[in-house]
């Protein structure tokens, strides 16, 4: 079922050419999803909230996509940075922009996942701290007031599950799009 | 084109993974050598970079190899078996439906023919019965009309006889009556002639 989900993503973006890449995208998606979901269990360690981990994975994807483009298209690969239908006068502006937006891909990919997961867990910890502070410090009133951050923590946990799925999906989707970009627009 | 990309692509992935690891490991080592252990965000604490990279490489590599070698072929095989079975079932259902359609058409045909046949037989039988009935009716009719004619003839004969004898009878009667009530006698022939004249008059 999840395999069909991932292969659906790959085939709808790349078409039948994407067949060799389905295992990799599938492995990536399942790895990140498992990582995110493991982190939702109390007292576990969320490895996807470490920049090293997500950075490495993003770098792997980036280097793979670049090598793919270079090997497939040769030096013609660098025409990717010249967008279509741009008047020649704007090219000195457009080309650096394109290059920058290309090289920022690994950074954006890794930081997106890392920041989402880390921020979610940090918020959970902060609000959990509030519960303890309120319930412990202020007596009976604190006990009752402590229900507010408790409710918030429950809501946040639900939200974190949602974010876990979404972020893994987005990572896999963007990987597929970059692969497609590399295969095609050169 | 896809075949062209499989093996080189795998090599490419591992190459890129190795390159990334080397880059980051170099960075981590530099950071480690340069800074002391710091009490900041553990995500950025360089002490653990190398270990994290090692375990990441190990686990993701194993995961990927497992998926590439085992999971994907199994899943592809299962999905294809499922699809082919469904297609086969649909084709078979189509086949059977067509067969059923032809058989039912034949049956319909036969029913229509049988009904026609029954109708013709019925009409023939009706006509037969009609004929027989008319024949018998005619026979009875003839018999009865014969009898009626005989009876009428007898009646007319009797009537004529009666009329013929009426004058004589009346004469005798008159004579009797007169003889009883009067001392004289009457002529029977006179009364008979009068009655006869009356009968003749009435007959014309």
pTM for this prediction: 0.65
pLDDT digits (tens, 9 = 90+) for B130-154: 999 999 999 999 999 999 999 999 9
- Chain B: residue whose CA lies nearest to A46: B43
Q: Judge contact between A16 and A166, C-beta under 8 A.
A: no
The chain-wide mean pLDDT, for chain A, equals 88
Query: Rounded to whole angstroms, how far apart are CA atoms A30 and A50?
Result: 17
**A168 neighbourhood in chain B, CB within 8 Å:** none
Which residue in chain A is spatially nearest to B22 when comparing CA positions? A56
User: pLDDT-derived band of residue B29, with 50, 70 and 90 as boundaries?
Assistant: low
Whether the CB-CB separation of B119 and A44 falls below 8 Å is answered with no
Nearest CA in chain B to A26: B67
Bigger pLDDT: A76 or A32? A32
Q: What residues of chain A lie within 8 A of the CB of B6, using their CB?
A: 20
* Mean pLDDT computed over every residue of chain B: 82
Judged against a pLDDT cut of 50, whether residue B36 lies above it is answered with no
Interface touch B72/A26, C-beta < 8 Å: yes
To test the contact with chain B by mutation, choose from A14, A18, A19, A23 the residue with the greatest count of B C-beta atoms within 10 A, namely A23
A18: enclosing H helix or E strand: none
Q: Supply B27's token pair.
A: 């960075």
pLDDT value of position B197: 83
For residue B9, the model assigns a pLDDT of 65
> Is pLDDT above 50 for B4?
no
Instruction: Answer whether A53's CB lies under 8 Å from B51's CB.
Output: no
**Taking a C-beta distance cutoff of 8 angstroms, is the pair A40, A153 a contact?**
no
With beta carbons less than 8 A apart as the criterion, state whether A48 and A114 touch: yes
Question: Residue A77's pLDDT is what?
Answer: 84
For A106, the closest chain B residue by CA position comes to: B20
The CA distance from A117 to A53, in Å, is 12
Tell me the CB-side half-sphere exposure of residue B130, using CA atoms within 13 A: 6
B184: pLDDT strictly greater than 70: no
Determine the 3-state secondary structure of A145 from DSSP: helix
pLDDT at B3: 43
Encode pLDDT of B95-122 as tens digits.
Answer: 999 999 999 999 999 999 999 999 999 9
Interchain pair B13, A64: CB under 8 A:
yes
- Of residues B195 and A182, more confidence is placed in A182
* B39-94 residue pLDDT tens: 567 777 777 888 888 999 999 989 888 888 877 788 788 888 999 999 999 999 99
Query: Could you read off the pLDDT of A129-180 as tens digits, one per residue?
Result: 888 888 877 777 777 888 888 888 899 999 999 999 999 999 999 999 999 9
Q: What is the C-alpha to C-alpha distance for residues B16 and B22, in angstroms, rounded to an integer?
A: 10
Measured between beta carbons, which residues in chain A are less than 8 angstroms from residue B5? 20, 68, 72
How far does the CA of residue B96 sit from the closest CA of chain A (Å)?
32
For residue A40, what is the DSSP state? Answer: T
Q: Does A3 touch chain B (CB under 8 A)?
A: yes
Label residue B1 by pLDDT band (50, 70, 90). Answer: very low
CA atoms within 13 A on the CB side of B59: 15
Q: How far apart are CA B94 and CA B84, in angstroms?
A: 15
**Residue in this structure with the two tokens 């999840």, named with its chain if needed:** A2
Share of chain A above pLDDT 90, in %: 35
CA distance B172 to B192: 8
Taking the CA atoms of residue A178, residue A181, residue A182 and residue B2 in that order, the dihedral angle to the nearest 10 degrees is 100
Q: What pLDDT does residue B172 have?
A: 82
Instruction: For an interface test with A, give the residue of B16, B30, B51, B74 to mutate (most A CBs within 10 A).
Output: B16
> Which residues contact residue A30 at a Cβ distance below 8 angstroms, ignoring those fewer than 6 apart?
A2, B63, B67
B21 neighbourhood in chain A, CB within 8 Å: 56
Kindly compute the dihedral angle of the four CA atoms of residues B14, B19, B22, B25, in this order, to the nearest 10 degrees.
Answer: -90
Helices (DSSP H) in B35-71: which residue ranges? 49-66
Would the CB atoms of A63 and B52 count as touching at under 8 Å? no
Structural tokens at position B136: 């018998």
């Amino acid at each position: 079922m999840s395999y069909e989900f991932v292969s659906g993503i790959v085939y709808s973006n790349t078409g039948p050419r994407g067949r060799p890449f389905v295992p990799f995208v599938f492995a990536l998606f399942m790895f990140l999803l498992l990582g995110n979901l493991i982190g939702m269990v109390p007292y576990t360690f969320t490895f996807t909230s470490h920049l090293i981990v997500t950075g490495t994975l993003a770098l792997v994807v980036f280097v793979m996509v670049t090598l793919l483009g270079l090997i497939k298209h040769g030096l013609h690969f660098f025409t990717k940075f010249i967008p279509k239908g741009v008047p020649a006068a704007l090219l000195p502006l457009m080309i650096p922009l394109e290059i920058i937006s290309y090289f920022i891909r690994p950074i954006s990919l890794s930081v997106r996942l890392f920041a989402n997961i880390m921020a979610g867990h940090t918020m959970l910890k902060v609000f959990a701290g509030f519960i303890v502070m309120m319930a412990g410090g202020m007596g009976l009133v604190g006990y009752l007031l402590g229900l507010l951050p408790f409710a918030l923590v429950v809501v946040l946990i639900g939200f974190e599950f949602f974010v876990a799925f979404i972020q893994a999906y987005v990572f896999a989707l963007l990987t597929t799009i970059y692969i497609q970009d590399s295969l095609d627009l050169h | 084109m896809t075949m062209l990309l499989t093996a080189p692509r795998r090599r490419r992935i591992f190459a890129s993974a190795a390159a990334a690891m080397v880059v980051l490991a170099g960075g981590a080592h530099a950071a480690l050598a340069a800074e002391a252990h710091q009490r900041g965000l553990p995500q950025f604490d360089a002490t653990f970079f190398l270990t994290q990279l090692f375990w990441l490489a190990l686990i993701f590599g194993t995961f990927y190899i497992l998926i590439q070698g085992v999971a994907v072929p199994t899943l592809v095989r299962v999905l294809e078996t499922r699809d082919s079975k469904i297609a086969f079932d649909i084709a078979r259902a189509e086949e059977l439906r067509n067969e059923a359609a032809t058989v039912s058409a034949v049956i319909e045909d036969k029913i229509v023919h049988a009904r026609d046949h029954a109708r013709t037989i019925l009409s023939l039988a009706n006509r037969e019965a009609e004929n027989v009935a008319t024949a018998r009716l005619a026979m009875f009719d003839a018999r009865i009309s014969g009898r009626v004619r005989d009876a009428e003839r007898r009646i007319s004969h009797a009537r004529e006889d009666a009329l013929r004898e009426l004058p004589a009878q009346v004469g005798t009667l008159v004579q009797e009556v007169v003889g009883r009530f009067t001392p004289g006698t009457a002529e029977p022939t006179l009364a008979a002639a009068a009655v006869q004249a009356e009968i003749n008059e009435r007959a014309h």
